[in-house]
Amino acid sequence: MPFTLPAATGAGSITDPATDIPQQKTNLGNLRGFIAEMLGTDSTSRGTARSLLGIDAPTLTFSVGASAMTINLKSAAGADGSSTAPVSMLFRSATLSSAAINVRQVTAALSLVVSSGSTLGMTNATDKWLYVYALDNSGTVELAISGKYYGWHFIGTSVAEGGAGAADSGTTIYSTTARTSVPMRLLGAVRSNQTTAGTWAAVPVEAAPIEQGTVELSSRSYTSPPQTITSAGALTLAHGMGVKPRFINAWLVCGTAELGFSIGHEVAVSFTQESDAVGDNRGMTLRRDATNISIRFGSNANVFVLTRDDTGVGSSATNGSWQLVIEAIA
């Protein structure tokens, strides 16, 4: 039956000195019934409600040591889960055709180590978003990581990280132990930049907790490895986002100092053909779909013209002195 909260003020309210004991008992009964309707009357119902409300929501911490990165699951208070203060989270059913929800609780410390040498598809000194997942192994929660966004809730398969520095794919989901066709959910997205890919010397420069309803905008992104610029050449970059990118940026990264730029400088470039007094057939064209970003470079011996950083004069950039990096957001 539906319950109504007792009035806060007025005759017969919980604060009215004139309210008699029978009425206060009624008030307390209504209050209990109202709370029970929302949160349930047992620990299972309580866990579901607290998970839905985000009260026991998980957080992530990151540390590096011996060139490896450790990811730890923590409570909202920053503590390991325990029997008295578990970290609760929701998972979809393991049955693809079922929309049922399961509540799982982590009652002990939980972590995942990305071993020294494992690149997760990263390249040297380049930002890359990594996605941390939780998986439901028949009621036991485990952590996983990938360089690819797979969704908020899904059924997935992971590969064992291995502990020997061989987890190098940017699209594989890695966990401590391989799991097949188990419920998974996204916990967070982190932006990492390592001087040497696979040598985990720095914690992520940005960590974004993911809330249901915001994941689509906040975490579907792609950063390409540096690409060689070849006159009249073509590139096909698999972005792995599963949808057509809405925003795409292109950057030239200086590898050999020229035109007033130093090594490591990044210069934004357009996607259209460029023409100036030096010659035509410059620049690049770009196509996009839900799978790939496709690029065709102009046929000029120097594909790009840049405004010099020292004089402001437009000059040809040497193909071999620069590499192209593409960033995309869905």
The tokens for 278 are 């030096």
H or E element in which residue 26 lies: helix 21-39
Q: Which fold has domain 223-329?
A: Immunoglobulin-like (2.60.40)
Query: What tens digit of pLDDT does each residue of 234-277 get?
Result: 999 998 777 788 899 999 999 999 999 999 999 999 876 554 54
Share of the chain above pLDDT 90, in %: 57
Query: What tens digit of pLDDT does each residue of 184-241 get?
Result: 999 999 999 999 999 999 999 888 765 543 444 344 678 888 999 999 999 999 987 7
Q: What is the pLDDT of residue 77?
A: 84
Q: Count other C-beta atoms under 10 Å from residue 278's C-beta.
A: 13
Which stretches of the chain are DSSP H helices? 21-39, 43-53, 215-219
Q: What is the pLDDT of residue 239?
A: 85
Q: Report domain extents, the chain.
A: 1-39, 56-216, 223-329
Query: What is d(CA 206, CA 215) in angstroms, rounded to the nearest whole number?
Result: 15
Q: Count other C-beta atoms under 10 Å from residue 35's C-beta.
A: 14
The residue-averaged pLDDT of 70-87 equals: 90
Dihedral of CA atoms 298, 301, 307, 311 in degrees, nearest 10, equals: -170
Q: Is the pTM of this model over 0.95?
A: no
User: Measured between alpha carbons, how far apart are the two ends of the chain, in Å?
Assistant: 45
Residue 186 contacts residue 219 (beta carbons within 8 Å): yes
The residue-averaged pLDDT of 125-144 equals: 95
Q: Which residues, at least 6 apart from 20, have a Cβ–Cβ distance to it below 8 Å?
A: none
The band of 31, judged by pLDDT with boundaries at 50, 70 and 90, is confident
Residue 64 contacts residue 203 (beta carbons within 8 Å): yes
**Helix, strand, coil distribution of the chain in percent, nearest 5:** 10, 40, 50
Q: Specify the pairing of strand 110-114 against strand 68-74.
A: antiparallel
Please, which residues bridge with residue 267 across strands? 252
Q: What is the pLDDT of residue 25?
A: 85
Which stretches of 125-264 are DSSP H helices? 215-219
Query: What tens digit of pLDDT does each residue of 89-122 get?
Result: 899 999 989 989 898 999 999 999 999 999 999 9
Using the structure block, give the residue that is written with the tokens 């410390």: 109
Query: What tens digit of pLDDT does each residue of 275-319 get?
Result: 454 557 899 999 999 889 999 999 999 999 999 999 999 999 999
